[in-house]
Amino acid sequence: MRFDLKSFQFVDTGVAPDALAVAAADRNLTWAQLRSEAVAWADEARGNGAAPDVPVAIYGHKEASFFVAMVGALLIGAPFVPVDTIYPAERLRRIVEIVRAAAVYDAASGTFSAGEGAELAERGLAYVMFTSGSTGDPKGVQIGRESVGLLGDWMLGSFGLGDAPVFMNQAPFSFDLSMYEVFATLASGGACVLNAREQIAAAGTWMPRLAGHGVTVWVSTPSFAHQQLANRDFSPATLPALRTFLFCGEPLPSALAKKLRQRFPGAVILNTYGPTEATVATTWIEVTDAVLAAHDPLPVGHAKPDSVLIVDEGEICIVGDHVMRGYLNRPDLNEAKLYTYADGRRAFRTGDLGQMEAGGLLFCRGRMDDQIKLNGYRIELAEIDEALHGLPGVEGGACAVLRRPDGTAVRLIGFVAGAGDASEDARFLAPDALAGWKERLAQRLPPYMVPSELVACPTLPMSNNHKIDRKKLVEIYAGIPA
């Protein structure tokens, strides 16, 4: 059995109904169970206000019911809004308010709580994915049903995943990387092994669990795979069925690719690139020994078949029906980032610097703005600035990024101005000043966006164009006496 991403229905329902569809943190589902639970969920969701083009938020972390709810929403035509429990309650509340969801489905308890419920102006969306926004609020990326159909076609047609692939899923469902596994599982009739944070942390049992389900495709950010190298069970001996590494979300360091080639000589490594705004990914390349010998840094590959790539004054622009329908209620941003290409299709200015070689091989050269990736998480620094500014008694807030020599972001440092007794020199906050700042920020921001230290300055340094001078902040930090 599988789920067709054009008709959004279960098809081939008589074929292997007892095959595994979802292995979740709490329970497993066969395809027959996934189907009957998704149909039942859709009925219940309708009773709670979900309807075509009326979104429903799904809140949880890797429960089987989270997966069921996403499929149920696709059956109804209600755009789903995935929110992982890594997001604090305040962020969930804001997201539900912005999207005017009919209901919030709590996947852990299996219950609905009512929301406002309004039809979206955009018709036929599959999901709305919220990413960090530079105004201080997360922004909703609206992905059409046509876009996920194209994603499924591309993955099954180009990635060589074999029949009934079994995916390792760990990225939170509020991160669009995870949509790779969701839609490829549905389109192929394969299986998705969902891994909760606690399961991953139990290193001794986690890899054997993946082996037990016969995982064939590993999907993660490079950072996540890098962390696993320390685990000796992360090997072909423990994971004999694993034949593909599918990476996306941040640069793939060639050193990591080389280590994986050594440890898993029989596996294919795919580097893929793309923003949430273009439905998970747009380019791909198999990182072979020849590619590793020819390039460092690695290329991000060629455009997928239904997409056109342009590098316009250094900026990567993506054209195709997999480009989002726009940010929800953000005409200002849509005006700046979206345009119509010569062939009439949607086009998106990514904000990524790119370089294209003859033959269309693309290299990503970093960002043009203040968006960063920290351990694979996408962060707009301005959103953290806003949250810092919201601390009591603070006149201004800004965030700086500490990086490794290769440019990888490793830590966030918060700066506040006007916080009480900050002297002429920047200094670490006294323990009693702004006590509880981390907890306050964590009410609004997910943990990966909370700076690890806070520094008080009399004023925040500005650059010539009246923007926060983040380089200067890093210098201030480096100059703080030990």
Give the footprint of ligand AMP on this chain (CB under 6 A). Answer: 131, 176, 248-252, 271-273, 275-276, 300, 350, 352, 364, 367, 373, 378
Residue 297 or 461 with smaller CB distance to ligand AMP: 297
Tokens (6 digits) for 417: 């101005």
Determine the 3-state secondary structure of 156 from DSSP: helix
CB of 258 to ligand AMP, least distance (A): 16
Sequence-ordered list of residues with C-beta below 8 angstroms from that of 465, at least 6 positions apart, any chain:
none
Residue 169 or 271 with smaller CB distance to ligand AMP: 271
DSSP strand pairing (283-286 vs 302-303): antiparallel
Helical ranges in 81-168 per DSSP H: 89-99, 145-158
Q: For residues 1 and 168, what is the distance between their CA atoms, to the nearest angstrom?
A: 20
Determine the 3-state secondary structure of 126 from DSSP: strand
CB of 249 to ligand AMP, least distance (A): 5
CB of 240 to ligand AMP, least distance (A): 27
Q: For residues 114 and 3, what is the distance between their CA atoms, to the nearest angstrom?
A: 28
CB of 133 to ligand AMP, least distance (A): 12
Residue 172 or 249 with smaller CB distance to ligand AMP: 249
* CA neighbours closer than 13 Å in the CB half-sphere of residue 320: 26
Contact 106, 113 (CB under 8 A): yes
Short-list 298, 300, 269, CA closest to 284: 300
Residue 29 or 399 with smaller CB distance to ligand AMP: 399
CB of 153 to ligand AMP, least distance (A): 20
User: For residue 275, is the peptide bond before it cis, meaning its omega torsion is within 30 degrees of 0?
Assistant: no
- Helix, strand, coil % over all residues of the chain, rounded to 5: 30, 30, 40
Tokens (6 digits) for 445: 């921001």
Residue 176 or 380 with smaller CB distance to ligand AMP: 176
Contact 57, 49 (CB under 8 A): no
Residue 141 or 210 with smaller CB distance to ligand AMP: 141
Contact 401, 411 (CB under 8 A): yes
Short-list 204, 186, 208, 341, CA closest to 278: 341
CB of 226 to ligand AMP, least distance (A): 14
CB of 380 to ligand AMP, least distance (A): 11
Q: For residues 229 and 222, what is the distance between their CA atoms, to the nearest angstrom?
A: 11
Residue 364 or 455 with smaller CB distance to ligand AMP: 364
CB of 297 to ligand AMP, least distance (A): 9
Residue 10 or 348 with smaller CB distance to ligand AMP: 348
Q: Give the position of tokens 């900050």.
A: 422
CB of 80 to ligand AMP, least distance (A): 18
